[in-house]
Amino acid sequence: MANKIEVNVLKVFNEKKTRNGSVRLHVIRWGNYSPQLEKREYYFDTENNEKPGKAKGLNHEDLQLIIDNAEEIQKLLES
């Protein structure tokens, strides 16, 4: 049995549906680590469980969202 990593999503700033799941720009905390701003793919496995996939690069739209929400993002990252 695989180890289960605890994840705490602090805020989703953008989510785009894809054919197999979604891509999200969010502030998230993995386990006991500090919060991080990340853009990541999520997909559904054969049992329809959502799983995290690869981290993705940022585009112009992502950058604008970060600029527009900079104060809130900073507060979340400091929590």
Q: 2 lies in a domain?
A: no
Q: 38 lies in a domain?
A: yes
Q: What single DSSP character describes residue 47?
A: T
What are the two backbone dihedrals, phi and then psi, of residue 28, each rounded to the nearest 5 degrees? -140, 150
Q: 11 lies in a domain?
A: yes
Instruction: For residue 77, give the H/E element and its range.
Output: helix 70-78
pTM (two decimals): 0.85
- 1 has pLDDT over 70: no
Per-residue pLDDT of 25-79, as tens digits, reads 999 999 999 999 999 999 999 999 999 999 999 999 999 999 999 999 999 999 8
Split into its structural domains, the chain has a count of 1
Name which residue leads in pLDDT, 5 or 31: 31
